[in-house]
Structure 1
Amino acid sequence: MLATPGRLPPAAQDTRWAYETKQDGQRAVVYLPGDGSLLLRARSGAEITAAYPELRPLAGILGRVPAILDGEVLALDEHGRADFQLLQSRMGLAHSPARAARMAARVPVRLVLFDVLLLEGDPLLRVAYAERRARLESLALDGPYWSTPAAVVGHGAEALRATREHGLEGVVCKRLDSVYEPGVRSRAWIKIRNMRTEDVIVGGWLPGRGRLGGLPGAVLVGQRAADGRLRYVGGVGTGWSETERTELAALLRAAGTDRCPFDPVPPVAGARWVLPRLVGEVGYSTRTRAGLLRQPSWHRLRPDLAPEESAAELPGDLA
């Protein structure tokens, strides 16, 4: 079951919803037949059990009680926050058990559980979320590599604010009376992602394709490092209206240059460079460990700002 992007439920309906922390990891359904074995499947249906050997002891935690659980596999950074880039070093190793074991020692994962689909032979798909959640919490699944984080009933605004204050990805709102709908992106589950905003300098663009021919498909943006160099922080390809994209195309053509303004030059095939004089505001979810923006979206041009005003404190390898 998948969540639909949206907003917090109306305040009058707040107590009809539970709020869970939105996790930035790999979705996994956990099959525990009750015979001492464990099977993990990704959202695609692919088996990923061998990629995460540290989760194998979970197979015996419930003894002979069969269960199917829903959760997310995370890799945590030094602050205890989910780091998808770290997790990527663990994903895709299901066919390399030896390498998976070595990586498990270096980058251990944690499985957070948030739903139960079958327990003791009873299918729970048509059971309300509130009861499924109570059944899950009664299992007390809290171990060295797995846990069942709390869900808060009501207090949605406070829950969302807390995730922002702690630098977490967001919240998932789940209606207490909702059933589990496999494969459905349901309005009974609503996801709200915290987005950060920053000012960036446009240093290039990529031509659009198809109906976007002659228009920018994406702009390449950077930020000034402490030493004055313009460091590339990513490409932004969403967030414009048709009118805004057309207006931006004219500005980019007027600022065209043969020289790349980024230092170092980013490995972006087909890039067209511009003089670094346009400042924009973008939203993004997080930064990679190298400082690149994840899931960036264009907000607006900032003609009120000069490029020199958009200096930033860049993390990681971009500093």
Structure 2
Amino acid sequence: MVTLPLIEPMLATPGTLPPAREQGRWAFESKHDGQRAIVYLPGDGSLMLRARSGADITAAYPELLPLGTALGAGVAAVLDGEIVALDDDGRPDFERLQARMGLSGSPAKAARLAPDVPAHLMLFDALHLRGRSIVGLPYRERRRELESLGLRGSHWSTPGAVTGHGEEALRATKEGGLEGVVCKRLDSVYTPGLRSRDWIKIRNVRTVDAIVGGWVPGRGRLSGLPGALLLGEYEGGVLRFIGSVGTGWNDRERALLAELLRVAAVDECPFAEVPPVAGARWVLPRLVGEVAYSTRTKAGLLRQPSWHRLRPDLAPPEGA
């Protein structure tokens, strides 16, 4: 059996699209909301998956094991990709995937869940192929090598990448309900374990005008100041909890929020159901803020929320 080198995943830097005049030097790939995996194919029919942490997660995804024979006997490779669970419309759904993650120590449970919540491996880079490392090759050449493998199956695929046209690529992912794009310099090498500006990730952001119904005090130097705000939306005349936000404001904004919360303090929870949040303090549901987020869970909670700004121009619904 071939002994393959362990390779840490290269990481992307959050940012914005390259200038239009430079986009011909970049490729644009869809960003998938899942679990990063380095894929080891020794060429003997076996397969090993390692998470970003380096942990062996192979046993959590038994439906991916047939990939071990997809390249044919004797063809060894190390590939980079993202494991996702698709929703009914074929879009990655991180909430669905969470049911599969962390099951490496429970292979029987993973096997039981696989038919109902199947995993799919999106492959996007080749790092080692046919006995040689190719991390030092430019992205365009590594991509060509990956596509030449023809890896497309019921539980794995090689999604396309486009060169140039970044605005169109980003808009297409937003319209398609995808997480965003990753921009990759065509001449960039693969730098294992490092966060590089040769890869730039851009998330599609949604916003909601949320009503503040409570807060949780911060700790340490933030004692007495809000560490997080508890958010809600009115639905059927009642305030429904949609999550908490604890990032996105500076010290001045935090101090302003603290004063507004102090004035609005009440003893009774304004939410229809008391959120399971330790140490919560309640306020009259009169403050409205614009909050950015990536997606919502099936329960309607905001994922990756970030405070954007107060909306003093908006008021909660009449009679609320």
Within the alignment, does 1:230 sit opposite 2:239 as a pair? yes
Corresponding residue of 1:172 = 182
Name the aligned partner's letter for residue 194 of structure 1.
N
Q: Structure 2: how far apart are the matches of 1:263 and 1:250? A: 25
Q: Structure 1: how far apart are the matches of 2:59 and 2:95? A: 20
**2:17 aligned residue (8, 11, 17):** 8
Within the alignment, does 1:280 sit opposite 2:289 as a pair? yes
Against the structure 1 CA distance between its residues 71 and 309, is the aligned structure 2 distance closer, same or farther, given a 3 Å change threshold? farther
Alignment of 1:78-117 (within 5 A): 78-117=88-127
**1:154 aligned residue (144, 160, 164):** 164
Corresponding residue of 2:152 = 142
Stretches of structure 1 that go unaligned for 5 or more consecutive residues are 312-319
User: Following TM superposition, by how much is the alpha carbon of 1:73 offset from its aligned partner in structure 2, in angstroms?
Assistant: 0.2
CA contact (8 A) 1:199 1:310 kept: no
**2:263 aligned residue (238, 254, 259):** 254
Q: Structure 2: how far apart are the matches of 1:189 and 1:126? A: 15
Give per-residue Cα distances to partners, 1:109-130, cap 9 Å, x unaligned. 1000000000001101111000
Within the alignment, does 1:217 sit opposite 2:227 as a pair? yes
Instruction: List, as ranges, runs of 4+ consecutive aligned residues in structure 1 with deviation greater than 4 Å.
Output: none
**1:194 aligned residue (196, 204, 211):** 204
Against the structure 1 CA distance between its residues 286 and 208, is the aligned structure 2 distance closer, same or farther, given a 3 Å change threshold? same
Give per-residue Cα distances to partners, 1:2-25, cap 9 Å, x unaligned. 000000001111000000000100
Give per-residue Cα distances to partners, 1:263-288, cap 9 Å, x unaligned. 11111010000010111110000001
Q: Structure 2: how far apart are the matches of 1:179 and 1:306? A: 52
SS of 1:106's equivalent? Answer: coil
Q: Structure 2: how far apart are the matches of 1:236 and 1:96? A: 33
- The root-mean-square deviation of aligned C-alpha atoms, in Å, is 1.1
Q: Structure 2: how far apart are the matches of 1:62 and 1:141? A: 8
Corresponding residue of 1:76 = 86
Q: Structure 1: how far apart are the matches of 2:306 and 2:71? A: 44
Against the structure 1 CA distance between its residues 272 and 157, is the aligned structure 2 distance closer, same or farther, given a 3 Å change threshold? same
User: Following TM superposition, by how much is the alpha carbon of 1:309 offset from its aligned partner in structure 2, in angstroms?
Assistant: 7.0
Name the aligned partner's letter for residue 182 of structure 1.
P
Corresponding residue of 2:56 = 47
Corresponding residue of 1:66 = 76
- TM-score when scaled to structure 1? 0.96
Same amino acid, percent of matched pairs: 71
CA contact (8 A) 1:223 1:310 kept: no
Within the alignment, does 1:206 sit opposite 2:209 as a pair? no
Name the aligned partner's letter for residue 199 of structure 2.
W
Alignment of 1:122-133 (within 5 A): 122-133=132-143
SS of 2:272's equivalent? Answer: coil
User: Following TM superposition, by how much is the alpha carbon of 1:140 offset from its aligned partner in structure 2, in angstroms?
Assistant: 0.7
Give per-residue Cα distances to partners, 1:139-184, cap 9 Å, x unaligned. 0100000000000000001000111111111000000000000110
CA contact (8 A) 1:202 1:278 kept: yes
Alignment of 1:296-307 (within 5 A): 296-307=305-316
- TM-score when scaled to structure 2? 0.96
Corresponding residue of 2:3 = none
User: Following TM superposition, by how much is the alpha carbon of 1:58 offset from its aligned partner in structure 2, in angstroms?
Assistant: 0.3
Give per-residue Cα distances to partners, 1:90-120, cap 9 Å, x unaligned. 0111111111100001100100000000000
Q: Structure 2: how far apart are the matches of 1:111 and 1:5? A: 23
Name the aligned partner's letter for residue 297 of structure 2.
T
Stretches of structure 2 that go unaligned for 5 or more consecutive residues are 1-9
User: Following TM superposition, by how much is the alpha carbon of 1:31 offset from its aligned partner in structure 2, in angstroms?
Assistant: 0.2
SS of 1:135's equivalent? Answer: helix
